[in-house]
């Protein structure tokens, strides 16, 4: 097992309705699999099931268990919830999950690789190290001769032998046609000996222990030899005429074609132009004629699919005469005749469903004449149906004729076919489809047998394969017409086995095959699934389960011919196939051969370092890449003998299992037939002469070259050379690089292929030079196939001999100077860090291979080692290949975590974030990638967001990677930006600079991966440092909570200019700095940006409303109490007219044009006092007033100071008194769109209701503050949503504040009991308790829309269009606006829930959920409203008053921040509604929030947007990340 910190963990995210049966996930033993909930499942009660067994329990495929959820943070949020599986047993496993009532909501498979072990010490043989060689067992001779014959593989460097089946063969002598699956072939025993399975097992174990070689063999489940003794006793194990009567028509056709064969063989058709020897097209046409004129008319196949018309009509007539009516429950009153196929397939056996007949043919009356008429129509329709069946069978017969002729062409006329010669009984016209174990008789006599079950049960269907068939369908089962259409390419020696659906359908066959499987698994290390794509999946599954019960680490290989990677995955998933056989012979040229190397394994050179905990990525099946398979044509025939070595070399450089077939290395120039070959393989003799047929040695064929290549292949895989680069040098030369990412050693193999025989094809003499980066340490091997003039090839009668005329000239492990193939090697330098060797070749003739071992040049090697040494403080995976620096630079002598611990959260804002406009304030900017785009942030997050997309897919062609390879600009930008800041940030910058010093001196192709490693390490260390400075809620919170809390770091920073007005000098813990502008000491408090990138710098950074809506979430909940206090007090200093400014403008350029900011500010003071320990002390903090009276110029800091409680009192008193003024500098200077009347501000408290109301129809004093801008549409100067009167959220916020000050006064923490105001010329004292009670009493009377007739509180019943909601405002100048459904009432519910009746509140929330809730945000207006428009386009200027220049900003687009209040209100009132409602609500909340989590994860800004267009669509005019959006979602998680 791996130590915990190195443990490989893969995370699989579950998504609702996602079925991944065709997606392959492969894992190694020792890995841990985490299953996590995707957004669509968060909040639901999800149960995950798997058939992966508990430790120590046996695997039962149908036995599923429930996995336990782990919730590391123990919170109500599901973002981190996971199930875990510790994978220790190889095989194929299934998982699925469900929620609610559905059985399965999604699922898939995962495959755990086997661990293979060799040698006396049981060393692990990694799958990528495998080099396999296939033997036809029947060519090995007696078992006691096997070691000498198999030794050839050992001496050629192979480590795994594949033997074709060792059982008794059928009479065809095909290696894959087995007469008895349970007995060891007796021909392997010499006379007087009787070898058995234990003897083979002994040899296999000896090879494993002494030769370090494993051995696998085939299992053949699909068929048995036609002469198998057991199938005669158990004919039910095949497809016969008793258990598969649907094959009867095909059997009749097959017998008719056999009788045609005998007649052709006997010359009885010669006169018709069809002689026994078929050689030309005229003969083929004659076959067609005979089929259509003689065969088809005689056997009348259509009768098997037709109805006996007279019988059916008579039966129908009787039913009509008896007055029988159709059974509507069966017909569904639908007309149309239903034909019922006779399950026994007798001629004219089909019948009619009489209910459908009675429904379709109804007589006008019951008179005999009408009944006869009706029977006439019925008869006519039956004849039509019989005619339709006739045409269908006619089409089958056409296809059958085509297939018969096609077969004859291949077998008798084609150049590439077997040329069988004249038709005779041994080589019939076409292969028979069924066995016929009876003496010859006439066709008529055979037809009689078809109805005798004891005879026809022995007519068994042969197996074969069907071109382009669906591999997941069994072509012998009902519904398939393969046999009648003669589409089967038939193996006449093999009977197809019929397993049915399970052991109960054919007990003998299942038991027999399970025993066969268990024998194989007991003695062999693995199996090759023969004919896998045609083996029924449930059969192979059950058999492999039985095999793995005996040998858990069973190695399973298969060759699939499905033509689809997705269908391949179905087989790999269900069967747990370890490696899929792929063949280099499938490549038509060297370019394609190189592409296959790249496709089948490894990652690109210079790939990013992947974290040990990472997403589980879909993959392709592990490849077993062979130069040639044993059942395909010989490459020498298709290419040339010279190509054997270079193509082998290309294959052996692949980062996967590789291998070959015995005979390839000996240059056997023909295919070794699995059916016909009976000669023996030569034995090993180190001194064998080239002419020897019965022995081979190191100089035979390319054996010496193959040994070197196999050794190299195993070394590369075992030493971690897992990165691959394939370079097509020219049309014949392929260079393959294997690179080790730990040591940065490479092996570069240059192979000159010879796809065409040089005797007939002219190859160019000039070979282009190669440029190899780094220092060539040695030539690992150089080899050429040369003609040794050993005489021509003569096929030996006893041994499978190869071409003696060729051998391999090979040198291994030589210095470059001694190379015969290299003419010269010059060293060129490419920049300060790149040394390139230019190689010119001389004898690189077709058929040559040279492999170089390449290191980085010594200086670069040392610097990479030092870089890895310093990276190993972050992860032990960098230890390998690391070298300590004897004189480390001062900047690196402290661990990075220690340097980070000196940073404040404001410093971390600079390190991690800051968008372009924030940086421009300091004279900088974000880094722009030429030809691509500008990074979102100048800080690390800007790069981390991009690298996170590059890393999982190793997208090394990305413009950022290109930029890094081309120069040091980006590298220097990252460190210099921090160094210029000075202070603790400079120390981090210097640490990065020192790390980058090493980085700049390594080869450019490695820079992206190490740059990423440095940045990820720095970034994660910075995040740890940030979380340590935050509250417990964040530190112990889920990933989602932490990601949202980073919004606090993102939004809260200190700019070049002080954004906040100064605080009183008497306050402790206020930060100071030397101003970069004046060089004077100044306060430098953190300010909160409203949103990025639009509200990030200058006077547009700080807004009163935005700041105080976001402050609780981003500052109080994250533990930034002092900074929150400073912001509250700073804004307190700007109070004027009893209001807090909307746009702060540093206080001097403040605009007092909003009615709600002061109430959000007061709510924040309340939140501070209740949330922060001893928080009420803020009330006594001194506030330095900028505007102690309304009309004064700004005062100097400290000139007028008063405690915060006095400022609060002033705000409340001014509202009770009534506020009325005209904005300073009114006109286009401060607002180019507003009309003159809009600059007049008025606010008052209604003396009867206590509602705070104000505004007019020309201004907009709440957050819905869009002012019309279009002259063309005539909306300029008109607010889209004035919300004058008493907006519902201001009423809620004022109630919350008044309730709080009453409570404070009662505790002696607030000195004011009420306020004095002037009413009708008199001074009147209004107690806050009175105001509080007024609000409580008046709220529902004023705001609840019951929709009931005669509601005494309803002033405008004609305007009610939605019942059971709360008004958006009360007393608007346009009364319709009061009744519009908007999300603002949920704010009042959250801050002052006491105003609401529980049932009414719940109903209103349900309406809001149905009508307003979008994927991420809340619709700002009811979609049923006539002015609703959900798409915000601020650039659109047209004639439409309602949308021009973004007039609909708050008339439909979905804003995110109100979702927080909606969900918090829903949670609050759900608790009041009872447990069941609360549980359902928590599900809803989690589900909604999961979409925010997904957005946050995917957003390069790492934030939540201001708004989206309708249904969550992206809005290009929105801020990409908005403070209040992040804050209010964080508040929901806090409430959960």
Query: Which of 1028, 992, 988 is CA-nearest to residue 1013?
Result: 992
Query: Residue 644 and residue 755: Cα distance in Å, rounded?
Result: 9
List 530, 568, 1106, 1231, catalytic entry:
530
- Measured CA to CA, the distance from residue 1262 to residue 1250 in angstroms comes to 18
Q: Contact 1430/1423 with Cβ under 8 angstroms?
A: yes
User: Is 732 part of the annotated catalytic residue set?
Assistant: no
Q: Write down the residue that tokens 């559905």 correspond to.
A: 102
Task: Report whether 128 contacts 601 (CB < 8 A).
Answer: yes
Measured CA to CA, the distance from residue 257 to residue 291 in angstroms comes to: 8
631 is catalytic: yes
Taking a C-beta distance cutoff of 8 angstroms, is the pair 1456, 1437 a contact?
no
- Cβ neighbors of 387 (< 8 A, separation 6 or more) are none
Phi then psi dihedrals of residue 702, to 5 deg: -105, 20
Q: Report yes or no: 651 and 625 within 8 Å, Cβ to Cβ.
A: yes
Q: Which two tokens stand for residue 335?
A: 């007309």
Separation CA 632–CA 618 (nearest Å): 31
Q: Which helix (H) or strand (E) covers residue 503, if one does?
A: none
Using H for helix, E for strand and C for coil, what is the string for 1395-1419?
A: HCCHHHHHHHHHHHHHHCECCCCEE
Round to whole Å and give the CA distance between 939 and 988.
12
HSE of 568, CA atoms in CB hemisphere, 13 A: 21
Q: Does an H or E element contain 603, and which?
A: strand 603-604
SS (H, E, C) 148-205: HHHHHHHHCCCCEEEECCCEEECCCCCCCCEEEEEEECHHHCCCCCCCCHHHHHHHHH
Give the C-alpha separation, 1188 to 1199, whole Å: 10
Residue 213 to residue 152: CA distance in whole angstroms: 12
| Contact residues for 254 (Cβ-Cβ < 8 A; gap 6+) | 432, 433, 434, 483
In angstroms, the Cα distances linking 1049 to 943, 946, 1059, 1108, 1395 are 17, 19, 16, 16, 36
Q: What is the 3-state secondary structure (H, E, C) of 510-551?
A: HHHHHHHHHHHHHHCCEEEECCHHHCCHHHHHHHHHHHHHHC
* Whole-number Å distance between alpha carbons of 1367 and 1404: 10
CB 1160 within 8 A of CB 1109: yes
Q: Give the Cα separation of 595 and 585 in Å (integer).
A: 13
Strands (E), 444-509: 462-466, 488-496
Please confirm whether the linkage preceding 1093 is cis (ω < 30° from 0). yes
- Rounded CA-CA distance 1354/1345 in Å is 7
Quick check: is 533 catalytic? Answer: yes
Is residue 550 within 8 A of residue 521, CB to CB? The reply is yes
Which residue(s) pair with 116 in the sheet? 125
Distances in whole angstroms, Cα of residue 746 to Cα of each of 27, 646, 905: 26, 19, 44
Which one from 462, 533, 622, 1492 is the annotated catalytic residue?
533
SS3 223: strand
Match 């001014």 to its residue by tokens: 1214
Angle (CA) 339 345 346, round 5°: 100
Give the C-alpha separation, 657 to 662, whole Å. 17
Instruction: Write down the catalytic residue from 80, 254, 627, 631.
Output: 631
CA trace torsion 320, 321, 325, 327 (10° rounding): -70
Q: Which residues are catalytic?
A: 530, 533, 631
């Amino acid at each position: 097992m791996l130590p915990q910190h190195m443990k490989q963990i893969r995370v699989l995210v579950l998504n609702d309705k996602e079925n991944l049966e065709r997606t392959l996930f492969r894992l190694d033993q020792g890995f841990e699999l985490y299953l996590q909930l995707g957004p669509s499942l968060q909040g639901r009660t999800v149960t995950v099931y798997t058939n992966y067994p508990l430790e120590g329990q046996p695997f039962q495929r149908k036995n599923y268990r429930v996995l336990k959820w782990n919730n590391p943070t123990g919170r109500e949020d599901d973002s981190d919830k996971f199930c875990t599986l510790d994978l220790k047993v190889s095989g194929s496993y299934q998982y699925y999950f469900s929620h609610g009532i559905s059985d399965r909501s999604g699922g898939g498979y995962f495959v755990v690789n086997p661990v293979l072990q060799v040698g006396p010490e049981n060393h692990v043989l990694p799958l990528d190290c495998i080099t396999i060689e296939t033997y036809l067992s029947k060519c090995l001779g007696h078992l006691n001769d096997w070691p000498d014959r198999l030794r050839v593989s050992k001496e050629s460097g192979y480590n795994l032998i594949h033997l074709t089946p060792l059982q008794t063969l059928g009479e065809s002598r095909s290696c894959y046609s087995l007469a008895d699956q349970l007995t060891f072939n007796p021909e392997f025993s010499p006379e007087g000996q009787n070898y058995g399975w234990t003897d083979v097992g002994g040899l296999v174990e000896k090879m494993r222990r002494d030769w370090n070689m494993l051995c696998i063999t085939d299992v053949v489940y699909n068929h048995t030899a036609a002469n198998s003794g057991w199938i005669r006793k158990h004919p039910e194990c095949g497809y016969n005429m008793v258990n598969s009567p649907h094959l009867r028509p095909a059997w009749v056709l097959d017998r008719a074609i056999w009788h045609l064969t005998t007649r052709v063989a006997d010359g009885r058709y010669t006169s018709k132009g069809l002689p026994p020897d078929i050689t030309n097209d005229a003969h083929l046409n004659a076959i067609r004629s005979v089929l259509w004129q003689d065969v088809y008319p005689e056997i009348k196949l259509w009768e098997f699919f037709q109805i006996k018309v007279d019988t059916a009509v008579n039966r129908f007539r009787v039913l009509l005469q008896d007055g029988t009516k159709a059974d509507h429950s069966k017909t569904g009153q639908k007309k149309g005749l239903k034909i019922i196929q006779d399950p026994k397939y007798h001629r004219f056996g089909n019948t009619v469903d009489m209910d459908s007949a009675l429904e379709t043919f109804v007589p006008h009356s019951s008179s005999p004449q009408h009944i006869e008429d009706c029977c006439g129509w019925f008869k006519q329709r039956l004849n039509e149906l019989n005619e339709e069946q006739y045409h269908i069978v006619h089409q089958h017969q056409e296809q059958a004729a085509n297939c018969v002729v096609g077969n004859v062409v291949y077998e008798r006329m084609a150049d590439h076919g077997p040329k069988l010669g004249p038709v005779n009984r041994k080589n019939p016209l076409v292969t028979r489809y069924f066995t016929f174990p009876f003496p010859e008789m006439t066709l008529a006599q055979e037809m009689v047998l078809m109805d005798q079950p004891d005879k026809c049960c022995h007519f068994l269907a042969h197996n074969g394969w069907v071109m382009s068939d669906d591999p997941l369908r069994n072509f012998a089962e009902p519904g398939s017409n393969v046999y009648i259409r003669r589409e089967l390419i038939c193996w006449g020696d093999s009977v197809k086995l019929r397993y049915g659906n399970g052991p109960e359908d054919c007990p003998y066959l299942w038991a027999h095959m399970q025993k066969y499987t268990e024998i194989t698994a007991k003695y062999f290390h693995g199996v090759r699934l023969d004919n896998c794509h045609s083996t029924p999946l449930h059969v192979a599954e059950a058999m492999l389960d039985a095999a793995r019960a005996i040998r858990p680490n069973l190695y399973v290989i298969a060759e699939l011919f499905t033509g689809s990677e997705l269908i391949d995955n179905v087989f790999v998933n269900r069967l747990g196939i370890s490696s899929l056989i792929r063949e280099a012979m499938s490549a038509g040229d060297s370019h394609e051969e190189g592409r296959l190397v790249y496709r089948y394994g490894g990652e690109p050179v210079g790939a990013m370092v992947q974290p040990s905990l990472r997403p589980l990525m879909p993959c392709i099946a592990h490849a077993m890449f062979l130069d040639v398979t044993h059942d395909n044509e010989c490459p020498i025939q298709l290419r040339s003998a010279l190509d054997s070595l270079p193509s082998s070399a290309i294959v052996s450089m692949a980062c996967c299992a590789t291998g070959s077939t015995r005979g390839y290395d000996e240059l056997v120039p023909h295919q070794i037939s699995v059916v016909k070959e009976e000669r023996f393989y030569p034995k090993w003799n180190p001194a064998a002469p080239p002419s020897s047929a019965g022995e081979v040695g190191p100089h035979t064929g390319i054996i010496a070259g193959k040994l070197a290549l196999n050794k190299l292949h195993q070394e590369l895989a075992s030493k971690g050379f897992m990165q691959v680069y394939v370079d097509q040098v020219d049309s014949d030369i392929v260079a393959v690089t294997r690179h080790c990412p730990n040591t940065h050693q490479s092996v570069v193999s240059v192979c000159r292929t010879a796809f065409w025989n040089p005797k007939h094809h002219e190859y160019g003499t000039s070979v282009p030079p190669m440029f190899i980066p780094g220092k060539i340490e040695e030539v690992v091997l150089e080899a050429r196939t040369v003609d040794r003039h050993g005489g021509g090839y003569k096929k030996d009668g006893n041994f499978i001999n190869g071409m003696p005329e060729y051998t391999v000239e090979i040198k291994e492990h030589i210095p470059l100077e001694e190379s015969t193939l290299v003419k010269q090697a010059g060293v060129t330098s490419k920049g300060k860090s790149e040394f390139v060797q230019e190689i010119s070749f001389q004898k690189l003739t077709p058929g040559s291979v040279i492999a170089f071992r390449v290191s980085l040049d010594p200086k670069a090697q040392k610097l990479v080692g030092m870089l890895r040494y310093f990276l190993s403080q972050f992860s032990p995976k960098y230890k390998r290949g690391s070298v300590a620096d004897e004189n480390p630079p001062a900047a690196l002598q402290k661990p990075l975590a220690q340097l980070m611990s000196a940073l404040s959260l404001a410093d971390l804002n600079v390190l991690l974030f800051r968008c372009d406009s924030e940086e421009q304030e300091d004279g900088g900017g974000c880094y722009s990638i030429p030809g691509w785009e500008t990074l979102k942030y100048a800080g690390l997050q800007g790069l981390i967001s991009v690298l996170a997309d590059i890393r999982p897919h190793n997208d090394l062609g990305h413009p950022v990677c290109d930029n890094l390879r081309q120069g040091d600009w980006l590298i220097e930008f990252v460190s210099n930006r921090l160094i210029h800041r000075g202070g603790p940030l400079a120390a981090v910058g210097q640490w990065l600079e020192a790390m980058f010093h090493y980085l700049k001196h390594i080869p450019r192709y490695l820079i992206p991966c190490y740059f990423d490693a440095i940045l990820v390490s720095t970034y994660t260390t910075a995040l740890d440092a940030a979380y340590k400075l935050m509250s417990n809620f964040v530190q112990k919170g889920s990933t989602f909570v932490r990601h949202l809390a980073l919004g606090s770091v993102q939004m809260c920073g200190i700019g070049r200019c002080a954004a906040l007005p100064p605080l009183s000098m008497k306050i402790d813990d206020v930060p100071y700095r030397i101003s970069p502008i004046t060089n004077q000491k100044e306060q430098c408090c953190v300010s909160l940006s409203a949103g990025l990138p639009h509200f990030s710098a200058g006077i547009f950074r700080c807004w009163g409303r935005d700041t105080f809506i976001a402050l609780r979430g981003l500052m109080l909940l994250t533990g930034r109490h002092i900074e929150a206090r400073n912001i509250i007090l700073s804004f307190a200093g700007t109070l004027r007219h009893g209001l807090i400014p909307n746009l702060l403008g540093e206080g001097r350029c403040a605009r007092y044009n909003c009615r709600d900011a002061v109430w959000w500010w007061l709510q924040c003071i309340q939140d501070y006092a209740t949330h922060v320990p001893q928080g009420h002390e803020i009330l006594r903090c001194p506030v330095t007033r900028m505007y102690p009276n309304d009309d004064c110029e700004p005062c100097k800091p400290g000139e007028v100071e008063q405690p915060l409680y006095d400022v609060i009192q002033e705000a409340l008193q001014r509202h009770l008194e009534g506020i009325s003024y005209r904005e300073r500098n009114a006109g286009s200077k401060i607002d180019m769109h507003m009309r003159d009347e809009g600059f007049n501000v008025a606010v008052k408290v209604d003396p009867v209701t206590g509602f705070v109301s104000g505004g007019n129809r020309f201004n907009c004093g709440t957050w819905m503050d869009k002012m019309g801008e279009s002259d063309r549409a005539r909306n300029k100067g008109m607010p889209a949503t004035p919300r004058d009167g008493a907006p519902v959220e201001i009423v809620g916020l004022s109630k919350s504040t008044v309730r709080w000050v009453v409570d404070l006064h009662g505790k002696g923490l607030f000195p004011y009991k009420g306020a004095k105001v002037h009413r009708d010329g008199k001074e009147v004292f209004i107690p806050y308790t009175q105001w509080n009670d007024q609000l409580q009493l008046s709220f529902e009377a004023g705001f609840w829309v019951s929709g009931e007739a005669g509601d005494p509180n309803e002033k405008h019943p004609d305007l009610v269009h939605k019942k059971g909601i709360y008004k958006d405002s009360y007393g608007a100048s346009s009364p319709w606006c009061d009744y519009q459904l908007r999300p603002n009432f949920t704010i009042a519910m959250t801050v002052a829930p006491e105003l609401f009746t529980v049932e009414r509140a719940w109903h209103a929330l349900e309406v809001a959920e149905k009508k307003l809730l979008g994927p991420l945000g809340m619709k700002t207006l009811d979609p049923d409203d006539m002015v609703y428009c959900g798409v915000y386009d601020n650039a659109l200027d047209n004639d439409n008053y309602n949308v021009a220049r973004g007039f609909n900003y708050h008339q439909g687009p979905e804003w995110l921040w109100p979702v927080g209040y909606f969900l918090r209100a829903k949670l609050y009132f759900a608790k009041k509604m009872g447990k069941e409602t609360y549980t359902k609500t928590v599900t809803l909340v989690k589900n909604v929030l999961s979409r925010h989590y997904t957005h946050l994860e995917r957003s390069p800004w790492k934030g939540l947007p201001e708004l989206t267009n309708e249904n969550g669509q992206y809005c290009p005019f929105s801020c990409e990340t908005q403070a209040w959006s992040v804050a209010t979602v964080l508040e929901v998680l806090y409430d959960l």
